[in-house]
Amino acid sequence: MTENDRPWVAFYGPDIRAEIETAAYRTLGDLIRSVADTYGSAPAFTACMPNGMNGTLSFAQVDELSDAFAVYLREVAGLQKGDRVAVQMPNGLSFPVAAFGILKAGCVLVNVNPLYTAEEMARQFQDAEPHALVIVDMFADKIAEATRGHPIPNIIVTRVAEFLPSLPRGIIGLVQKHWDRSVKPIEVPHIRFSQAIRAGRAHRDRDRIEVALYDKDVAPDDIACLQYTGGTTGVAKGAMLTHANLILNMEQTLEMIPALERGKEVGLTALPLYHIFAFTVNLLGLYRLGARNILIPSPRPLTNLKRAFENYKITWMSGVNTLFNGLSREIWFLDSPPKHLKLASAGGMALQVAVATRWQEITGKPLLQGYGLTETSPVLSFNPVGKTRDGSIGVPVPSTRMACVDDNGIPVAQGERGEIAAKGPQVMKGYWQRPDATEEVLKGGWFLTGDIGVMDADGYFYIVDRKKDMVVVSGFNVYPNEVEDCLSQHPGILESAVIGVPNESTGEAVKAFVVPKDPGLSVEDIRSHCKAHLTAYKVPRLVEFRDTLPKSNVGKILRKDLRAQESQDQASE
């Protein structure tokens, strides 16, 4: 595989560098301290509850609190440079304090989905072997089962309302304890996050500890995060993302959005911060900009976002296709779309053209699609502002090469389909303790994404589908994204997902799972619509109506769950 030329650079515009030679900061700890020095008392993070109750931490407060937590980890918990610390919590003020404290301590952050079952937690803990766990109290009842056989020596428990003013903090605590009983007794030895902060602060002040010394020996190529993949191709693997990976990817992404101004933006974070997209772009990127980051603990139902839009002048937000599709159908959002929005960014799954078009019509602002993976920190490509192309994932971000290759790693002709390979400073070091898996995806400095795509003459890339999701009908390739995009254009369809199912005559057949918007929608309506836009072998042979579709915690529709259900149903017949 050779590096191709870069036709996409012509579409960057005068304000975008083609190459980012060196990172602006040596480590994430340096970034956190430097930004705090610049923006001081300005609001950095605001947690907004569904009823509008909120709390805010300034850049200076986040810096001081995360310093105290770093001292706790090193001086009280006894952790050393490179030790892993798992963080398992929804969006809230505790997240940046914990994450930044871990990074300042020279430790490795391990993000964990807070909705994991005890069994899923156990698998990740067994693989990462964390020395400490910071977990929200709502899910702490799973710790005992999740750590059986491989205990975690330091358990720190936080609250959803941590760092909120005393009144809303008290109200939320009472509701959780006595009304919805979402907080259960914790059966393992632990310390409260607030106590850990106080203990760290006391050590720091008494012993005059200079926190910056903890990470002075951390190199840019040292691991900052173990970010676990979703496990869509098997057991989840921990991508080793370095300080340089994350800092440079943050800069690469911000470089593509010059409309965002330092010290002037208000960003909305509805995606969970433990997800790599929100972690790099929202947590690190908005912080780097000196923006105010509005954190939404849970975006479901979508009315949970209503008060955030009402109370704050949102200028930018990120999300996945399902989030933007849902918002564009909410009456309250249609009645009062955000007035200060500059643009929105989509990633995590394919952005359907119909959704992007509807968003532009409602808000008057563009919805720009980007592309990336956990293993690439995550952003590989992005649509330049003012130069977007429908259905495209955009062009490679600065210092990034992308190509479509065949099974032998040879670039295919321009316009032909091939697996997308990428090369750049954001590509992971490898998979944690899995050299064989690393060798499967890193070939000669190029990362094989597993996605099938095409590149046009100008260097814009288009995702056709995941390599493993492709459906083969009588020898013809059918890509579910294409069929789903067609279905999304039907006014009577709210959501859809397409998979392949076994068929005696064609090998596989296309099956569509549809959540109808119109209760009178019929199978024949759907097939007629598809016949008007797709060649015959791509038209769904089978259609199943559903009330809902299985989704990940970030709202990504899970085809693998539908395939598993389908296999189980067929086996029981």
Do 436 and 535 lie in one domain? The reply is no
Torsional class of 52: left (φ above 0), alpha (ψ -120 to 50), beta (otherwise): left
Does residue 31 form part of some domain? Answer: no
Q: Mean pLDDT across the stretch 68-94?
A: 98
Do 464 and 476 lie in one domain? The reply is no
Buried b / exposed e along 192-202 (16+ C-beta atoms within 10 A) = ebeebbebbbe
Cα(482)–Cα(327) distance, integer angstroms = 23
User: Which pLDDT score is estimated for 487?
Assistant: 95
Higher local confidence (pLDDT), 176 or 381: 381
Do 250 and 347 lie in one domain? The reply is yes
Do 225 and 210 lie in one domain? The reply is no
Range of 542's domain?
Answer: 471-572
Do 328 and 192 lie in one domain? The reply is no
Q: Looking at residue 248, which CATH number applies to its domain?
A: 3.40.50.12780
Do 457 and 478 lie in one domain? The reply is no
Q: Looking at the 3D structure of the chain, how many domains does it have?
A: 3
Element (H, E) at 561: helix 559-572
pLDDT beyond 90 at 129: yes
Q: Mean pLDDT across the stretch 48-73?
A: 97
Domain end residue (candidates: 469, 493, 523): 469
State the pLDDT confidence band at 503, using cuts at 50, 70 and 90.
confident
Do 372 and 417 lie in one domain? The reply is yes
Does residue 375 form part of some domain? Answer: yes
pLDDT beyond 90 at 162: yes
Span 273-314, pLDDT tens digits: 999 999 999 999 999 999 999 999 999 899 999 999 999 999
Least confident of 16-25, 109-118, 502-511: 502-511
Do 476 and 465 lie in one domain? The reply is no
Least confident of 235-239, 339-343, 451-455: 235-239
Does residue 42 form part of some domain? Answer: no
Map tokens 């992005």 to a residue: 382
DSSP bridge pairs for 85: 109, 132
CB 447 within 8 A of CB 375: yes
Does residue 40 form part of some domain? Answer: no
User: Which pLDDT score is estimated for 430?
Assistant: 97
Work out the number of other CB atoms within 10 angstroms of the CB of residue 531.
12
* Strands of 379-460, DSSP E: 379-382, 395-396, 401-405, 418-423, 430-431, 442-443, 446-455
Do 11 and 74 lie in one domain? The reply is no
Cα(252)–Cα(448) distance, integer angstroms = 20
CB 229 within 8 A of CB 428: no
User: Which pLDDT score is estimated for 232?
Assistant: 35
Q: Mean pLDDT across the stretch 380-395?
A: 94
Do 362 and 463 lie in one domain? The reply is yes
pLDDT beyond 50 at 486: yes
Cα(68)–Cα(533) distance, integer angstroms = 59
Least confident of 163-167, 256-260, 422-426: 163-167
Cα(423)–Cα(428) distance, integer angstroms = 10
Domain end residue (candidates: 453, 469, 485): 469
User: Which pLDDT score is estimated for 241?
Assistant: 98
Burial class (CB in 10 A: 0-12, 13-18, 19+), 234: exposed
Cα(189)–Cα(296) distance, integer angstroms = 30
State the pLDDT confidence band at 235, using cuts at 50, 70 and 90.
low
State the pLDDT confidence band at 204, using cuts at 50, 70 and 90.
very high
Does residue 47 form part of some domain? Answer: no
Q: Is 453 in a helix, a strand, or coil?
A: strand
Do 330 and 449 lie in one domain? The reply is yes
Does residue 37 form part of some domain? Answer: no
Cα(315)–Cα(291) distance, integer angstroms = 10
Average pLDDT for the chain: 93
Does residue 236 form part of some domain? Answer: yes
Chain center to CA of 249: 14
Which CB contacts under 8 angstroms, 24+ apart, belong to 206-212?
207/75, 209/71, 209/75, 211/67, 211/70, 211/71, 211/104, 212/29, 212/33, 212/104
Do 418 and 477 lie in one domain? The reply is no
Work out the number of other CB atoms within 10 angstroms of the CB of residue 406.
13
Q: Looking at residue 557, which CATH number applies to its domain?
A: 3.30.300.30
Q: What is the DSSP string of 141-199?
A: GGHHHHTTTS--SEEEEE-TTTTS-HHHHHHHHHIIIIIS-------S--EEHHHHHHH
pLDDT beyond 70 at 484: yes
Cα(161)–Cα(48) distance, integer angstroms = 10
Task: Give the CA radius of gyration of the chain.
Answer: 24
DSSP bridge pairs for 235: none
Cα(217)–Cα(209) distance, integer angstroms = 16
Does residue 35 form part of some domain? Answer: no
User: Which pLDDT score is estimated for 123?
Assistant: 87
Which CB contacts under 8 angstroms, 24+ apart, belong to 331-339?
332/303, 332/306, 333/302, 333/306, 333/309, 333/362, 334/362, 336/309, 336/310, 337/362, 337/363, 337/364, 338/309, 338/314, 338/363, 339/313
pLDDT beyond 90 at 17: yes
pLDDT beyond 90 at 57: yes
pLDDT beyond 70 at 201: yes
Q: Mean pLDDT across the stretch 424-438?
A: 96
Q: Looking at residue 153, which CATH number applies to its domain?
A: 3.40.50.980
Domain end residue (candidates: 469, 496, 514): 469
Q: Mean pLDDT across the stretch 409-430?
A: 95
pLDDT beyond 60 at 543: yes
Map tokens 């002037």 to a residue: 264
Q: Mean pLDDT across the stretch 355-367?
A: 96
Distance set, CA 232 to CA 159, 296, 556, 559 (Å): 31, 26, 12, 9
Q: Which two tokens stand for residue 564?
A: 């598993």
Q: Mean pLDDT across the stretch 14-39?
A: 95
